[in-house]
């Protein structure tokens, strides 16, 4: 199967990867980002810092897992591939080793409903996926389980993962999520936070079904 990608999408993917570093979500070669295309995905390459990449370095991975490009895709391409297959609403996926998210992930804890904005990611808590070696099918399987009904998760002893409807949305959500992780971390320095109830969170989750969406005509 022949897959082609417009140069503007390659440029946008690279710009998003660079913006992750500017926003403090990543340093060096850590993390990766992808965008869905017809028949597969476009993803950042393995082991290259965004500042050293060109748009042509972005890698196509077809729906069957085959690779198109001169460079290898990110070592984490598998969970991107599997998430696109499982979650049709995912238009772009972002993985980062953001400081506060990673600190919480290394404690292997989920983020409870200490703040109503947790509902932004689809539920009353953000789960932490069980640990598995990076790049493995086991890690992908663990992430799929943690992301069930949600658009974000922590990855034990690793980092964070979010998806959005497109690259801009995924980046915005990643920054929001890292901010929540920092707020939770800081709150725990004072003591255990007072959590919202299931009923209170259910109401917020319902409100987020239309939050940020175009008004029906």
Q: Which of 11, 76, 182, 206 is catalytic?
A: 76
- Output the pTM of the full model: 0.93
Is 76 an annotated catalytic residue?
A: yes
pLDDT tens-digit map of 82-137: 999 999 999 999 999 999 999 999 999 999 999 999 999 999 999 999 999 999 99
Which residues of the chain form beta strands (DSSP E)?
A: 32-37, 40-43, 59-62, 67-68, 92-96, 128-129, 152-155, 159-164
In whole numbers, what is the pLDDT of the chain averaged over residues? Answer: 94
Q: Top-level CATH class of 7-207?
A: alpha beta
pLDDT tens-digit map of 14-50: 999 999 999 999 999 899 999 999 999 999 999 999 9
Neighbours of 66 (CB within 10 A): 11
Nearest to 134 by CA among 94, 76, 72: 76
Structure tokens at 147: 């992301």
pLDDT tens-digit map of 126-160: 999 999 999 999 999 999 999 999 999 999 999 99
Beta sheet of 159-164, edge-to-edge order: 67-68, 59-62, 40-43, 32-37, 92-96, 159-164, 152-155, 128-129
SS3 at position 23: coil
Domain ranges of the chain: 7-207
Could you tell me if 97 and 23 are in contact, meaning their C-beta atoms sit under 8 angstroms apart?
A: no
């Amino acid at each position: 199967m022949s897959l082609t990608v417009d140069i503007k999408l390659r440029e946008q993917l690279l710009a998003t990867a660079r913006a992750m570093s500017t926003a403090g979500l990543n340093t060096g070669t850590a993390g990766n980002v992808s965008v869905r295309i017809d028949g597969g995905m476009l993803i950042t390459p393995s082991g290259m810092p965004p500042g050293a990449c060109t748009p042509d370095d972005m890698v196509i991975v077809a729906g069957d897992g085959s690779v198109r490009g001169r460079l290898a895709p990110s070592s984490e391409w598998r969970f991107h591939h599997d998430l696109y297959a499982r979650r049709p609403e995912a238009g772009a996926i972002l993985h980062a080793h953001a400081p506060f998210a990673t600190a919480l992930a290394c404690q292997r804890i989920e983020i409870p409903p200490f703040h109503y904005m947790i509902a932004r990611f689809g539920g009353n808590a953000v789960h932490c996926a069980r640990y598995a070696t990076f790049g493995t099918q086991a890690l992908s399987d663990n992430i799929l389980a943690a992301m069930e009904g949600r658009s974000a998760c922590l990855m034990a002893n690793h980092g964070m993962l979010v998806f959005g409807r497109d690259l801009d949305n995924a980046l915005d959500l990643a920054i929001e999520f890292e901010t929540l992780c920092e707020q939770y971390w800081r709150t725990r320095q004072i003591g255990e936070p007072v959590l919202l109830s299931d009923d209170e969170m259910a109401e917020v989750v319902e409100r987020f079904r239309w939050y940020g969406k175009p008004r029906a005509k």
